Amino acid sequence: MTNPHFSSGDLIADRRADYARMFAESGEFAEAAELMEQALEQVPSWAAGWFRLAEYAEKAGRKEAAAAALEKVVALDPSDIFGAGLKLAVLGVADTPAAPPTSYVERLFDDYADRFDTALVGKLDYTVPRTLARLVHRHAGEDAHFGLVADIGCGTGLFGVEFRANAGRLEGFDLSAGMLAKAEEKAVYDRLAQADLSLPAEQSGLFADGPEARADLVSAADVLMYLGGLAEVFPSAARLVKPGGLFAFSVEDGGEGDAPLLRPSLRYAHPENFIRRRLAESGFDLVTVEKSVIRQDAGQPVHGLLFLARRQG
């Protein structure tokens, strides 16, 4: 049956969408698109249905039909919970957004929370929390103790597990309530709270119950690829960490350019030069940068950059 998040509320339309999905699972995307078009004749205001039609049309080689369906999604759902604007940019028919819609990122990770650890660590060789923790240890010492560690974009708490023994107090922040619930189950954080890193520091939630300049280490493991141009997160990290404190984070490697790239995965890749510039603008000195394979995606390695920076002063 149709996933309740995808239901149109119309039995006939949902049934045709189910048949369309079965055709798509068999690789018959043209037939799947035709059935979705029939479903949408029943419920033309069904944003999720138009998004599914765009997916099938694109895989059937009908780029113009896919773009038209995505534009319909954006018109019906201006909050863009499906990330249709990102897809339009990937198709080359719209400008790349400076950042993904908050509603899209929140829904993505709420939906992913229950299977995140199994899917990434167990199946995709996800290594960032461990390799980022090792990077900090190599430069601060294996036994280095940090009075307060703020894990921004903490997800299900994988970095927290790796770093708990080195933190006097461990705070975790994430946009997704589902991810925070999973992190709470690990029982390694002293405090967990919802925060939107795409907002200015005073609106983000990072300082709702704590002062500025309180952290000895700020970590951001595998989160910046969902924040685009990073206009807010680096200034927020600078206000969160003490002078002389560390900021450890990862990005997907954006190559030799000067600006973030939006990939077909709908994640942003960041060139090293761009990150160096953002660090300098926000008052950080680069300590080190390392290249690493951070996960597998469709059987191919995803190359990343791990950074460690120190707050000036």
pLDDT tens for each residue of 106-139: 999 998 888 887 877 766 778 899 999 999 999 9
Provide the pLDDT confidence category of residue 140 given band limits of 50, 70 and 90. very high
| Of 95, 107, 213, 62, the residue nearest 150 (C-alpha) | 213
Indicate whether 41 and 127 sit together in one domain.
Answer: no
Query: What's the pLDDT score for residue 8?
Result: 83
Indicate whether 61 and 114 sit together in one domain.
Answer: no
Q: Answer yes or no: is 103 within a domain.
A: no
Indicate whether 87 and 125 sit together in one domain.
Answer: no
Indicate whether 150 and 211 sit together in one domain.
Answer: yes
pLDDT at 3 over 60: no
Contacts of 246 (CB under 8 A, 6+ apart): 136, 140, 146, 216, 217, 218, 287, 308, 309, 310, 311
Provide the pLDDT confidence category of residue 158 given band limits of 50, 70 and 90. very high
Q: For residues 290 and 131, what is the distance between their CA atoms, to the nearest angstrom?
A: 10
Q: For residues 248 and 128, what is the distance between their CA atoms, to the nearest angstrom?
A: 11
Q: For residues 206 and 199, what is the distance between their CA atoms, to the nearest angstrom?
A: 10
Indicate whether 146 and 268 sit together in one domain.
Answer: yes
Q: How many residues does the chain have?
A: 313
Q: For residues 246 and 186, what is the distance between their CA atoms, to the nearest angstrom?
A: 24
| Average pLDDT score over residue span 177-190 | 96
Q: What percent of the chain lies above the pLDDT cut of 70? A: 98
pLDDT at 209 over 90: no
Indicate whether 297 and 177 sit together in one domain.
Answer: yes
Q: For residues 207 and 307, what is the distance between their CA atoms, to the nearest angstrom?
A: 24
Indicate whether 71 and 121 sit together in one domain.
Answer: no
Contacts of 82 (CB under 8 A, 6+ apart): 47, 48, 51, 73, 104
Provide the pLDDT confidence category of residue 172 given band limits of 50, 70 and 90. very high
Indicate whether 81 and 124 sit together in one domain.
Answer: no
Q: For residues 234 and 281, what is the distance between their CA atoms, to the nearest angstrom?
A: 9
Q: In terms of DSSP bridges, do strands 215-220 and 268-270 run parallel, antiparallel, or are they unpaired? A: unpaired
Q: Answer yes or no: is 102 within a domain.
A: no
Q: What percent of the chain lies above the pLDDT cut of 90? A: 85
Residue 241 phi, psi dihedral angles, 5° rounding: -90, 150
User: Which ranges of 113-241 would DSSP assign to H, the alpha helix?
Assistant: 116-117, 128-140, 158-163, 177-186, 201-204, 233-240
pLDDT digits (tens, 9 = 90+) for 235-270: 999 999 999 999 999 999 999 989 999 999 999 999
Indicate whether 291 and 231 sit together in one domain.
Answer: yes
Q: Residue 218 belongs to a domain with what CATH number? A: 3.40.50.150
**Domain membership of residue 65 as a residue range:** 4-95
pLDDT at 4 over 50: no
Q: Residue 87 belongs to a domain with what CATH number? A: 1.25.40.10
pLDDT at 2 over 50: no
pLDDT at 272 over 80: yes
Indicate whether 289 and 239 sit together in one domain.
Answer: yes
Indicate whether 280 and 135 sit together in one domain.
Answer: yes
